[in-house]
Amino acid sequence: MIDLITPQSIIANLRAGSKKQALQELAKKAAELTGQHERAIFDVLLERERLGTTGVGHGIAIPHGKLANLDRVHGVFARLERPVDFDAIDDQPVDLMFLLLAPEAAGADHLKALARVSRLLRDGTMCDKLRGSDSAEAIYALLTQGEASHAA
């Protein structure tokens, strides 16, 4: 996770009234972090949602896409103030979102990042802790806590 997110890529209390608005806010944050155009990021995310929802269930969405000018896979995590309808596969509203943006040529790196995020967010205890945290620092610490011990 440390290679995907930084403390700056965490939105602790995202205000959004809809799926579209949540994606717009994530695109805005991703644009700040990557130097890419906000509209290009948003369009990639919308295009991906048209293929099928990235709302994976249990209040979680993992919107993702590929952009030509990225140097590596970037992540943005958001905890929504109030859950929004996301057309999720279990029809539950979403309150935890992990955006992944990858270079167009990323291939396996993109899939590995998706798998890592998916594994992390399948952990119900982890999600409860994330939902209970209201600071970006606390959320970042939770998302990256296992990294140091796994590396040792």
What is the tens place of the pLDDT at every residue in 52-104? Answer: 999 999 999 999 999 988 989 999 999 999 999 999 999 999 999 999 999 99
| 151, part of any domain | no
Answer yes or no: is pLDDT of 148 > 70.
Answer: no
Per the residue annotation, which of 37, 58, 64, 110 is the catalytic one?
Answer: 64
CATH code of the domain containing 73: 3.40.930.10
Of the candidates 114, 143, 146, the residue with the CA atom closest to the CA atom of residue 131: 143
Q: 25, 11 in Cβ contact below 8 A?
A: yes
CA–CA gap between residue 3 and residue 74 (Å, rounded):
8
- Residue range 95-144, pLDDT digits in tens: 999 999 999 988 788 899 999 999 999 999 999 999 999 899 999 999 99
Find, among 60, 33, 63, 62, the residue nearest to 130 by Cα: 60
- Domain count along the chain: 1
- Is residue 152 included in any domain, yes or no? no
> Domain residues for 17?
7-145
Query: Could you tell me if residue 1 is inside a domain?
Result: no
Is residue 49 assigned to a domain?
yes
pTM to 2 decimal places: 0.92
Q: Is 64 a catalytic residue?
A: yes
pLDDT band of residue 147 (cuts 50, 70, 90) is low
